[in-house]
Structure 1
Amino acid sequence: MFLARRTLLRLSNLKYSYYTVNQNLEKSQYDLAKSLYAKIKATGPITIADYMKEVLINPLGGYYIHKDMLGESGDFVTSPELSQIFGEMIAIWFLNEWSKVGSPKPFQIVELGPGKGSLCQDILRVFKHFQALKEASVCLVEISPFLSDIQARKLCAQTILSKNEDDPVYRQGTSITHSTPIKWYRDLKNVPNIFTLLIAHEFFDALPIHKFRKTDLGYREVLIDIDKTKNMTFRYVMANHETPALKLFLNKNETREEFEVSPQSLVLVKDIATRLEEDGGLALIGDYGHEGEGTDTFRAYKKHKQHDPLLEPGTADLTADVDFSALKNAAIEEGKVLAFGPTSQRDFLLRMGIEHRVKNLGEAANEEQMKSIRFGFDMMTDPAKMGTRFKFLSLLPSVLKDILQKVPVVGFH
């Protein structure tokens, strides 16, 4: 905590720039109902995981592919869009933990699902303030051409698009104020193998899930079928028999009436663990989630309100709370990394010293600016809002065990 406080004192000299994101972007809505209807009619009911993949990342009309979903005029708001202080706290965490291992270079900042680029922008600003961008590069893992364009306009003066669709780097440029190379990838596996500071903020909650429910015959998977009573609509049904996913993921000690599993999340966190062990690095995962007690969390959001996930597919965000217990167990299973947390966003931010930063900003802010700062702080830390529903998990290479016993991971103790 001493390192974090010392960093906060230096951060007090960093100018707080009040920016707003242009939300007046044209919104396109895509109706995937016809293709989904045809698929189910031909092959039978599909899993929720398959439904999520089609609705969210279908190249022709996926929600994440063509839609500007963030901000007041979108469907939901994330912490980086509420306040730059959030990104500053994330940057401080990385600076502290990176310094414990000697700040190795070269290094890369990797963000999974960068949204509008606000978090990356704030992290770069803090790193520049501490003159910590020497031999640094940024890798953004983003499947959406639409969002990558928004990110590029925020972060770079200009970018170059690859003419080869098979090129792992499909866009690249240099940050506007920091002269740091920024490259865009569709998959983490293509990101270079060097020391990595990896942030995944509100990324895992969008990965596909399988849902299971207890019945008189035991657990069965929840599927999505055609609703024959209404034209071009869908409904939930129970699988008649045990599905492959159920056989693979049912824990013999399971007692919940319903539970969800995200196989893609478990594979990804194992890949992150391998990367950290082999190349060195730190990872911070932040998301809505639970610690293994969650049941029915699959939902949709449209215009900041809950929406029926089966209604108008492609026009609303689909999400499910992250099972941090499963994520943590998968990460540490092979002993490659140490995991700390999960801890609530409220506790993480308070331990990082967010209150001191708010107080410092208040000394120079006008009334309107202070109102905005306080609003963001309240939204991020209030237990009734994002404070406890949002959680953080950190992963560090197992070889750091002795160091971390002497100097614990900041934000989690």
Structure 2
Amino acid sequence: MHRSEISKLNMILSRVRHPKFTVKNFTIVRTYYNVKRKVKVDEDYLAKHIHQKIRAKGPVTVAEYMKEVLTNPMAGYYMHKDMFGDTGDFVTSPEITQMFGEIIAVWFLNEWQKMGSPKPVQIVELGPGRGTLCNDILRVFSHFKALHKASLHLVEISPTLSEVQAKQLCNETNPTPESDTVYKRGMSHHGIPVFWHKQLEDVPHSFSLIVAHEFFDALPIHKFHKTFNGYKEVLIDIDCDETTDSLPKFRYTLARNETPMSKLLVKPDETREHVEISPDSIAIFRTICERVKFSGGIALVCDYGHNGTGTDTFRAFKKHQQVDPLVLPGTADLTADVDFSLLRNVANEVDGVITLGPSTQKNFLLKTGLEYRFKALARNIEDKDQLENLTECYNFLVDEEKMGERFKFCALFPETARKILNKAAVVGFSWQ
């Protein structure tokens, strides 16, 4: 990045107000180790539901299992609970410290200004959690008076989380008719309209700043295992040896024959022993690419992931610990690392968009000014405990053994912006 760009970002960061830093005790979000199955007899609605489904139709794919566990209307993990924070199952970067959201906001402001700050502008977040990241982005945009002719669009399927977001972001909200593509709307504390949608396709087509933070890692995946007879899809079946009348148990098994998804998704040149592919990720990322191409905008994807080298990453997290994904479905978060090389291939197929990354979180945040922001906040903290906590938060974001290397960033720009970006390269990414 050019020195002029560094100076510009530091100048922007120096003008961001310093909100009172709140001490946030947090636990490591996601760890990587194998666990033994541990069963607790409670909250077994989904286990019984999936058990009945398998008895009626046979083994299900991992994608079908994930969809039921995460989004089942009656008991899906994301549908009826707030799973974030110390009392939940995991903590995300925006929940750890406001520095993360501020850096994301400054990055969007900087890149948007290079393109002439086209208006009207939509800020769009996929899977906004508690709304913490959006809240930080709006606060920074408001400080720089960048919310004129702006609107906020949240893609959220969870009724519970949409209520949490509404309390965080808005003075008041109102439901809309079921036939409307907007199921809730409100006015933000910063005076811009906020809309809730079930899917990205329902968001109006306009110049957009799109952010997807820990969104793609929760989308259903198909798993494949390499055998002497080629790749076989991994399925989930009833574990007859362990199932009791009160608590069904499940096991992995391999499909005997080639499945439609193994024919469609596994490439002829694939060599990995285990392969995980998400058709939903492909479809949604293609939609993002087409929006950036035809309507204009910038997209930033931030997630746990790899660049085409990942293998067996399907995991579950409960109370900040890794647990067995097949035990008590619906009581733990399910996740799989995002294949950023697959997303790049999707963008290449769309054509007309510029794809950058993946860049590690450490690289992205430090190049975008996180260290400068950390030092600026630290200078205004007199309490020793708060300063130690701020330092711990900073290290957690950039430490290579924590989030610094495991978390990746990918950006999208329209091809029409290439001349602009050739003069002023995108911050946080390598530019050729």
**What whole-Å deviation, never above 9, does each CA across 1:354-407 have from its counterpart, x for those lacking one?**
101111111111223222221111111000000000000000001111221221
| Aligned twin of 2:191 | 179
Residue 306 of structure 1 pairs with residue 287 of structure 2: no
Q: Secondary structure at the match of 2:334?
A: strand
Q: Which moved more, 1:276-285 or 1:366-375?
A: 366-375
In structure 1, what residue type is equivalent to 2:389?
S
Per the TM alignment, residue 289 of structure 1 is displaced from its structure 2 partner at its CA by 0.3
Question: TM-score, normalised to structure 1's length?
Answer: 0.96
| Aligned twin of 1:97 | 111
Alignment of 1:228-377 (within 5 A): 228-231=240-243, 232-366=248-382, 367-377=384-394
Is the Cα–Cα contact under 8 Å of residues 301 and 307 in structure 1 kept in the other structure?
yes
Per the TM alignment, residue 281 of structure 1 is displaced from its structure 2 partner at its CA by 0.2
| Aligned twin of 1:153 | 167
In structure 2, what residue type is equivalent to 1:114?
P
Q: Secondary structure at the match of 1:169?
A: coil
| Aligned twin of 2:8 | 6
**What whole-Å deviation, never above 9, does each CA across 1:266-288 have from its counterpart, x for those lacking one?**
11111001111111000000000
C-alpha distance in structure 2 between counterparts of 1:3 and 1:216, whole Å: 53
Is the Cα–Cα contact under 8 Å of residues 185 and 195 in structure 2 kept in the other structure?
yes
| Aligned twin of 1:202 | 214
C-alpha distance in structure 2 between counterparts of 1:119 and 1:103, whole Å: 21
Q: 2:410 aligns with which of 381, 393, 406?
A: 393
Residue 120 of structure 1 pairs with residue 134 of structure 2: yes
Change in Cα spacing, 1:29 to 1:119, as seen in structure 2 (3 Å) is: farther
C-alpha distance in structure 1 between counterparts of 2:292 and 2:86, whole Å: 36
Runs of 4+ with deviation above 4 angstroms = 19-23
C-alpha distance in structure 2 between counterparts of 1:118 and 1:46, whole Å: 35
C-alpha distance in structure 1 between counterparts of 2:301 and 2:272, whole Å: 25
| Aligned twin of 1:16 | 19
Question: TM-score, normalised to structure 2's length?
Answer: 0.92
C-alpha distance in structure 1 between counterparts of 2:175 and 2:241, whole Å: 47
Q: Secondary structure at the match of 1:384?
A: coil
Percentage of identical aligned residues: 54
In structure 1, what residue type is equivalent to 2:213?
H
**What whole-Å deviation, never above 9, does each CA across 1:128-167 have from its counterpart, x for those lacking one?**
11110100000000000000111111111211122x2232
In structure 2, what residue type is equivalent to 1:85?
M
Is the Cα–Cα contact under 8 Å of residues 112 and 203 in structure 1 kept in the other structure?
yes
C-alpha distance in structure 2 between counterparts of 1:247 and 1:298, whole Å: 21
C-alpha distance in structure 2 between counterparts of 1:37 and 1:10, whole Å: 55
Is the Cα–Cα contact under 8 Å of residues 266 and 327 in structure 1 kept in the other structure?
yes
In structure 2, what residue type is equivalent to 1:253?
D
Is the Cα–Cα contact under 8 Å of residues 206 and 320 in structure 1 kept in the other structure?
yes
Per the TM alignment, residue 228 of structure 1 is displaced from its structure 2 partner at its CA by 0.7
Is the Cα–Cα contact under 8 Å of residues 30 and 61 in structure 1 kept in the other structure?
no
Residue 59 of structure 1 pairs with residue 76 of structure 2: no
C-alpha distance in structure 2 between counterparts of 1:332 and 1:282, whole Å: 16
C-alpha distance in structure 1 between counterparts of 2:22 and 2:131, whole Å: 13
**What is the count of residue pairs matched by the alignment?**
407
**What whole-Å deviation, never above 9, does each CA across 1:16-46 have from its counterpart, x for those lacking one?**
23357999xxxx9563011111110111001
Gaps of 5+ in 2: 27-41
Is the Cα–Cα contact under 8 Å of residues 48 and 222 in structure 1 kept in the other structure?
yes
